[in-house]
Amino acid sequence: LNVTMKVVAIVTLLPGLTASFTNTLLPLHQLSFAKKVDHVKMTTSELSATTTPTLEAILFDCDGVLADTERDGHRLAFNRAFTENSLSTTWSVPLYGKLVEVGGGKERMTAYWNDVGWPESMLSDSDEERQKKVKALHLRKTDIFMDLIDEGAIPLRSGILRIVDEAIAAGVQLAVCSTSNEKAVENLVRRLMGEERLGKFKIFAGDMVKKKKPAPDVYNMAVDDMGLDKSRCVIVEDTEIGLGAARAAGIRCIVTKSSYTGDEDFTGADMVVEELGDDTDTAVTLETLTGLLKQPV
């Protein structure tokens, strides 16, 4: 009763405050709760606006990305292997630019000879016999290609060594995912980057998967084997086929154009550049790649 009388007395003595007092008066626990909810909403909003996923891994294609190997590496190696085996096949620079649209060296030879006719020495062979000879040719071609690497005939592309070293220093995982022969890929990384850097790479190549690019299998294998989160990975490719594999895998992709791929359709790429580069003002950096993680896949 006394409490009631005091409240009434206050309201009565201060009539000018009555409207204001009654409009703002809330039970204490409700007022406190309202403030807490508002605070949580602000914090969530701020975090969603400022938080960027961390880059977990960079997955590189090999040919045309690490080094511009197709025109002056693989093409020459194929031609030398053809000559050694007395085959009347020579792949010119323009022709090979079309042939690289077929992923995989064995598949490339098969598609070419299916189109123009098989060499005379293979005409009477069964499909199985032809594929054995194609496989042997490809193995020899791989040996020749590795000799070219050892001779220093194929340099790394601009920016590759820099961004690899940045990634190693930052603890970002590295992999090469290629349709090329596994030994050739490993040798290229060893010869052009050194044994220590090779030890930082996982290599997924050649016939490790049945379906080659543009199928996503080689990238999916890398993600599964390395225990990666696709939303925190970036693929570096140089071809429309490779971009298709990246998109099919649901992983963000930056394209570095190479000698044969400048006119290809890179619609859907998260970024397209001429090269990763070493110029401090224009180079693609880890920060650049991390920024791609904000974009929808």
Positions marked active-site:
61, 63
Runs of H (alpha helix) within 194-239: 195-198, 217-226
Quick check: helix, strand or coil at residue 202? strand
Name the nearest CA neighbour of 180 among 297, 86, 75, 74.
74
C-alpha count within 13 angstroms, C-beta hemisphere, residue 120: 3
- Contact 64/258 with Cβ under 8 angstroms? yes
Give the residue from 278, 107, 71, 285 showing the smallest Cα distance to 209: 107
- Start-to-end CA distance of the chain, whole Å, equals 68
Inter-residue contact 276 to 283 (CB < 8 Å): yes
Evaluate whether 211 touches 228 at the Cβ level (below 8 Å).
no
